């Protein structure tokens, strides 16, 4: 093989991996415009579950 072909092969070898990484990084950015705008498009965190452990902890610390 010629030296040019070896250089070209060495240059092209990491391109598929770089393309996959670039696609994974760009996917969320490209998905944002597809969201519908309006008041219903707000993304919120799920509500916290109240387990009641705070009150039990408070009472136990006051007794100790």
Provide the percentage of residues in the chain whose pLDDT is more than 70.
Answer: 78
**CA-CA distance, 62 to 64, in Å (whole number)?**
6
Mean pLDDT of the chain: 79
Least confident window among 6-10, 19-23, 28-32: 28-32
- Mean pLDDT, residues 25-37 taken together: 75
**CA-CA distance, 35 to 28, in Å (whole number)?**
11
Banded pLDDT at 37 (limits 50, 70, 90): low
């Amino acid at each position: 093989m010629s030296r040019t072909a070896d250089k070209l092969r060495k240059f092209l070898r990491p391109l598929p991996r770089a393309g996959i990484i670039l696609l994974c990084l760009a996917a969320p950015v490209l998905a944002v415009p597809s969201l519908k705008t309006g008041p219903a498009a707000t993304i919120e965190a799920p509500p916290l579950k109240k387990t009641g452990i705070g009150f039990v902890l408070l009472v136990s610390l006051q007794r100790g």
